[in-house]
Amino acid sequence: MKIRIGTRGSALARWQAEHVKQRLEELGHEVTLHFITTTGDRAKGPLEAVGGKGAFLKEIEEALLAEEVDLAVHSLKDVPTALPPGLALGAILERADPRDAVVSHGATLEGLPRGARVGTTSLRRRALLLHLRPDLLVADLRGNVDTRLRRLRRGDFDAVLLAMAGLSRLGRAAEATEALDPERFVPAPGQGAIALETREGDARLRAAAGPLHHEATARAVRAERAFLAALGGGCNVPLGALARETPAGLRLVAFLAEADGRTFARAEGTGGEPEELGRRVAARIGQGASPP
């Protein structure tokens, strides 16, 4: 089967698309990559001004609906919980390391000096940083992984925060100074997972993508995305959620905060049905659950 994959052109997006391409080719499909520049790629200012993280999907989804490509490859954390009519998630790949990482000139998060300048554009990371270390100076840092690390080396920042999954996929995991405890520094919903988006009625494509699907990851991210959906969250709301299987069932830990980190609520729960678990933990957060 011939499959045209739509993807962004950043190094990380290319890695993800090439990974999916290789796996589909191993299944006997003929796969080509189509690189698409998105609104998010062109934006110079805050993402929330151009539609949030969904701005990294817009043109790819339009190409998918126009049947110019057959399959879209995304970082799941960038995918809104409500997809455009006619599109669906065809598969979720096995998740990589979901943790955030500190990359610095040698200091851990706790070891950074007072007033240290830390770079991130994520409201979630900003809120967590200021909740845990209100003495730090958190500054905006846009750009791909290479750009952010280059600015760190140049001395613009004392540390930057990045996803461990992205560093690992680009062969740069050794540059992480510290991988942060996900119980304290809760990742974004879906962080570390790759999503394959298809046209809803394209049964042949969904069947082709099916062997790449990892059900344990899918269960976890369904709980995280249900939590996100229940709170109406996006990149404009500092929140995080991570679900993992335990002997007692699927366990979800989550938080919701203000951007300055001063107002902070954390909740967790365990259950068997992912969507119900996500909604239940969101309800607890809404009632003002706080750190144990």
Give the separation between CA 20 and CA 75, rounded to whole angstroms.
12
Task: Report which of 8, 70, 11 is spatially closest to residue 35, judged by C-alpha positions.
Answer: 8
Q: Taking the chain, what is the end-to-end CA distance rounded to the nearest angstrom?
A: 52
H/E segment holding residue 90: strand 87-92
* Helix H or strand E encompassing 62: helix 58-65
Beta-ladder partners of 240 = 255
Among the options 78, 97, 100, 158, which is catalytic? 78
- Concerning whether 78 is annotated as a catalytic residue, the answer is yes
Tokens matching residue 27: 């299944």
Please give the helix or strand (H or E) that residue 253 lies within, else none: strand 249-257
Name the token pair of 52: 């949030």
Active-site residues, by number, are 78
